[in-house]
Structure 1
Amino acid sequence: MNKRLPLGLGLILLVFPCVLLVAFTHYPAARALMNSFWNNASSRRPSKFVGVENYQTLLEDDRLMQVMLNSTLYALGTIPLAIGLAIGMALLVNAKLPGTSLMRLSFFMPTMLPMIAVANIWLFFYAPGIGLASQILGLFGLPPINFLGSTETSLLSMMFVAVWKEAGLFMIFYLAALQAVPTTLKDAARLEGAGPVRVFFDVVMPLLRPTTIFVAVNALINAFRLVDHVIVMTRGGPNNSSALLLYYIYEVTFSQRDFAYGATLTVLMVCLLGILAAVQYWVLNRKAHYQ
């Protein structure tokens, strides 16, 4: 016997999520777009419509160019590494080796830790002279390195933390996808003489493309919305070498109190993420195999 939800309850279940979506996603985005065409108000002067003046400021902002370069390098460095490491860990825990449950827990543990806690842990790890990283370098007779205090290593150090934290989460998605791959396809490939490497790249990887699309888009969003680690570990320094886009938006809006330019930067980030996610989805989706 089929049971249907009452019409009123169905409307509540439909309307309530839509209200939350509009209130916390669509309205803030639309409000930021509107604010980007006005200047800042003060106690003596109301806000004034300035058209595209704030967007002209974007083109003249040298610091924004540095931040965009940092964000691009950060995304290019963390996304492929996190995805590759996640696939490797998923293959390892899916191989039914002894201690698989412990490995799965240890791989996923960094994801369960709060981002602020992770940043403080790695802040101590990178501490020059007394941190674990310096102690390891000392074992090989190498001098200590100020990883977070050097323009050459600060961004790389942040990237390492991001890969360590996110790979475990992506591993869960790939593990679920690997367990959904039909064994008959792999058995058929083996009967044709394909080795393990050939089976993985010709049979398994095409079936993992939908998962890769989902993971890659989320990794891209995570790369551009990182702010917690930057605030705790480097505050964008030294010399803006580790400043990322969302941290720059946070600093302009809440430290400098430039709400109009902060809204303009927010519009830039939303548009940029939308374009990159669409391109990423289109490129990866062309050869995706869905079941």
Structure 2
Amino acid sequence: MTDAFTFERRRRALHGWLLLSPALIMLTAFAFYPSLATMVTSLWSRGTRRNPAEFVGLDNYRYLFDDPTFWQVASNNLLYALVTIPASMALALVMALWANSKIPARSFIRTAYFTPTVLPMIAAANLWLFFYTPSFGILNQIGALFGAEPVNWLGQPETALWAICVVTIWKEAGFFMIFYLAALQTIPPDLKEAAEIEGASRWTYARRILLPLLMPTTLFILVNAMINSVKLIDHLFILTKGGPSDSSKLILYYIWENAFAYFDRPSAAAMTVLVLALMGALAAFQFLVLDRRVHYR
């Protein structure tokens, strides 16, 4: 009896590992191994044919922290995240509330909101070039009707990063709206009716009932928005290429630039490790703190 029980337990364990093996193989090949290889690369110097790479420990990180361009890029990315994340989430919630209400042509409105999401990144960036072009851009043409001077939106350090933020908010709000819309449709209408019977205002209903019930979805969207805030590169290639004077350069573009333009793989690896460490810390904070508060555990 014991042998049969042990055999059955091993058979189930083997069956479970076989089911997990495709995911483990994919994660090992495309996540675990590249991450480990990046960490190892960040500890070696930049090698050439005449001067092979040498183990330098944390020197690449030390040089990185002494690089003013890195701090400029980091501050750009921080500002970019602080602007795009709350703006796109708030806009997505407003769009979802409107698309979920009883209005005419509701399906058309939902499709119109979601359309920017399905556009390729390069196509969306080229589309916005027609808005930002100094000579015949739509924004400057509208401003000319009111006597405003033309503005080189992508060619000035004061406006380049803000122009990128607008494109990102426009692109991501429709995507986040889908999740809010799905969450809104799971909320029983009886809750709103009960709140109205109790004399609660719309603001009280939204603050006390609607927003708490949407918190799991909000946390999910927040995590996705934070990940997206450090992986933007497509728009920069088309719109600004990180300029002018590094005013719109973000971390992933700077990593690509070091790795493939300057052929400085150790510096690029060091920056990648820092980004992974930051995202790991945010993920730990999410699971250990925010997730418990959101789900009331």
Unaligned runs of 5+ in 2: 1-10
Q: Deviations over 1:23-80 (max 9, x none)?
A: 1111111110011110122112322111111011121010000000000000000000
Match of 2:6 in 1: none
Is 1:90 matched up with 2:104? no
SS of the residue 2:39 aligns to: helix
Match of 2:81 in 1: 75
Q: Deviations over 1:248-277 (max 9, x none)?
A: 000011000001111001001111122234
Is 1:224 matched up with 2:224? no
SS of the residue 1:144 aligns to: coil
Asked whether the equivalents of residues 147 and 154 of structure 1 are also in contact (C-alpha less than 8 Å), the reply is yes
SS of the residue 1:224 aligns to: coil
Between the aligned partners of 1:75 and 1:150, the Cα distance in structure 2 is 20
- For 1:1-291, list aligned pairs within 5 A: 12-279=18-285, 284-289=290-295
Displacement of 1:227: 0.7
Letter of the 2:83 counterpart: G
Asked whether the equivalents of residues 210 and 288 of structure 1 are also in contact (C-alpha less than 8 Å), the reply is yes
Letter of the 1:126 counterpart: Y
Worse-superposed segment, 226-235 or 42-51: 42-51
SS of the residue 2:232 aligns to: coil
Between the aligned partners of 1:34 and 1:167, the Cα distance in structure 2 is 38
Give the TM-score normalised by structure 1: 0.93
Worse-superposed segment, 146-155 or 32-41: 32-41
Asked whether the equivalents of residues 41 and 48 of structure 1 are also in contact (C-alpha less than 8 Å), the reply is yes
Asked whether the equivalents of residues 111 and 165 of structure 1 are also in contact (C-alpha less than 8 Å), the reply is yes
Unaligned runs of 5+ in 1: 1-5
Q: Deviations over 1:154-206 (max 9, x none)?
A: 00000000000000000000001111112222222221110222111110100
Letter of the 1:79 counterpart: I
Give the TM-score normalised by structure 2: 0.91
Worse-superposed segment, 264-273 or 76-85: 264-273
Letter of the 2:118 counterpart: M
* Number of aligned residue pairs: 286
Between the aligned partners of 2:288 and 2:95, the Cα distance in structure 1 is 27
SS of the residue 2:57 aligns to: coil
Highest CA radius of gyration, 1 or 2?
2
Change (3 A) 1:60 1:254: same
Displacement of 1:9: 8.2
Q: Deviations over 1:210-254 (max 9, x none)?
A: 001110011011011101111111011001100001110000110
Between the aligned partners of 1:169 and 1:28, the Cα distance in structure 2 is 29
Letter of the 1:200 counterpart: A
Between the aligned partners of 1:98 and 1:290, the Cα distance in structure 2 is 37
Between the aligned partners of 1:70 and 1:47, the Cα distance in structure 2 is 31
Displacement of 1:133: 1.1
Between the aligned partners of 1:277 and 1:147, the Cα distance in structure 2 is 35
Q: Deviations over 1:107-157 (max 9, x none)?
A: 000000000111111122210020111111112211111000000000000
Letter of the 2:120 counterpart: P
Between the aligned partners of 2:293 and 2:17, the Cα distance in structure 1 is 38
CA RMSD of aligned residues (A): 1.9
Between the aligned partners of 1:285 and 1:154, the Cα distance in structure 2 is 36
Asked whether the equivalents of residues 32 and 266 of structure 1 are also in contact (C-alpha less than 8 Å), the reply is yes
Asked whether the equivalents of residues 210 and 290 of structure 1 are also in contact (C-alpha less than 8 Å), the reply is no
Displacement of 1:283: 5.6
